[in-house]
Structure formats: C-alpha cells, structure tokens
Structure 1
C-alpha cells in the first residue's frame, strides 16, 4: 500500500471518529470452533450508515439470489465502521465478515447487524450489513 493510501485511510478514519452523525456501536465475533460459545466482545467502534445496499445493475437473478440468500434485500445497508482503539494497539480490530454489530440509535433500542460483505476502497472499507430481524418484535 502506498504512502498516499495510508494518508487517505488515516484521514478517513479520523473523519469518521469525529463525525457527529456516527453512532456508537460494539462488535462481536462468533467462536468459529464452538458455535454454542459466547461471542467475543471485540470492543467499541463508531458506525456511519451510508445508505441502502444497491446490487450492481449487471447482476442477474441468480447472482442476486446467491448474494441475498434468504434475507430480504431491504435489510441490507452500507456503513463505514472504525474501531475506537488506536491502530496497532492491543484493543484494535477491523470488522470481518461474520461479525455482529450492535448499535443503539436511541431511547435504549438496540439494533443488531451482521457483517455480510465489504468493499475495499482507497480510504478504507465500506461494509455491507444485514439487519438482524430476530431481535425485533
């Protein structure tokens, strides 16, 4: 990765962490060896939702079905996520596919999301999240 890419990445990280529209969130990682085990609490992060996920126009029906699976396409959203811990510190992490994201948009409500995919971009990753409806009444 070039020095310019590192500078863009750091600038994007700091911009997100200081963005007033970014929400506090917490990330959890399932134990791959024991699905019954408690998820590992990765730590605190900031999340900025950037909109609904739009499947590329050139995807055919089979590609869409494969990508969305049994989930309704309207449950897919895009977001930027940055760990609050400093890079290279013991508490630093980067979200991975399969992680869970817990957000609290307000009034004590908790919304859960699943990291489904990500798009690597020059200034960091945009994550494609799926809202977990199981916790909704």
Structure 2
C-alpha cells in the first residue's frame, strides 16, 4: 500500500502519540546487536481483539504461547522524511522501545502488520520483562 501522507501526518501529530525507537534484528547473525533504524512516533490504538469469526484453533495459532492480554494494536510512523536516507518502514519482526514516562521503557515486538483505510496497523506484543 502506498504511503498515505494524511495518515502519516495524523500519527505524527496526534497528541497521544509517543516517541519511540525502532530496532531490527540482524537476519544473518541472531546474536548480533539489533540495528537501530531510528526514531518514530507510536499511536497505541488499544488491546488487540481477535476477529469474532476466529475459532479456537485460529486463536491458538495466532497467539501461540503468548498471553493474549499482551497483544496491542498501534500505528507507527518514522520521523524522517519519506524520501530521505534515514526513512524506514516498520516491519514484522522489529522491536519498538517506547518511553511512556521518565525513567520507564516499554519494549514491544512487532508481531504482525495489516493494511486498512487509515494505513498500516501493527500488532505488537508487549515484553513484560523488567529492563
């Protein structure tokens, strides 16, 4: 789906959007340090709710061993200008570090991505381990 400048602007300027950093694991070396892609804004949409038509097997396959309460929906937009060298698009498998308050860092794993009328919607899994 092409980049929607209005959807992007809505996230970047939303008063409840949080500053975050996005990291990507090294595909060739799983023990290597993650690549710091850059700064972004994250707009939390709320808890992820599985579609009503999913049966128990579909829910089990999607959530796996993870607690469904740790799944959230969000929009993420890179701060860098779209045609700049620093611009990136968040992908499934990335990590997002959010600082909701001074001294607190919350990590999320980007589990899934969906496109809707308002742009990219990401399904995040909150890492509930203390940093």
- Fold conserved between structures, TM > 0.5: yes
Gaps in structure 2 of 5+ consecutive residues:
none
Pair 1:45-2:45 in alignment: no
Q: Tell me, in whole angstroms, the C-alpha distance in 1 between the residues paired with 2:6 and 2:14.
A: 12
Deviations 1:30-88 (A, max 9, x none): 00110000000000000000010000111111111110011100000000100000002
Pair 1:13-2:8 in alignment: yes
Secondary structure of 1:134's counterpart equals coil
Q: Tell me, in whole angstroms, the C-alpha distance in 2 between the residues paired with 1:81 and 1:32.
A: 22
Return the match for 2:69 from 66, 74, 81. 74
Q: TM-score when scaled to structure 1?
A: 0.91
Return the match for 2:91 from 93, 96, 107. 96
Pair 1:29-2:17 in alignment: no
After TM superposition, give the deviation of residue 123 of structure 1 in Å.
Answer: 3.0
Q: TM-score when scaled to structure 2?
A: 0.95
Gaps in structure 1 of 5+ consecutive residues:
none
Pair 1:134-2:129 in alignment: yes
More helix by share: 1
Secondary structure of 1:135's counterpart equals coil
What is the aligned partner in structure 2 of residue 61 from structure 1?
Answer: 56
After TM superposition, give the deviation of residue 19 of structure 1 in Å.
Answer: 1.2
Deviations 1:72-128 (A, max 9, x none): 000000001000000021000011000000000002100000000011123310100
Query: Counterparts of 1:113-132 in structure 2 under 5 Å?
Result: 113-132=108-127
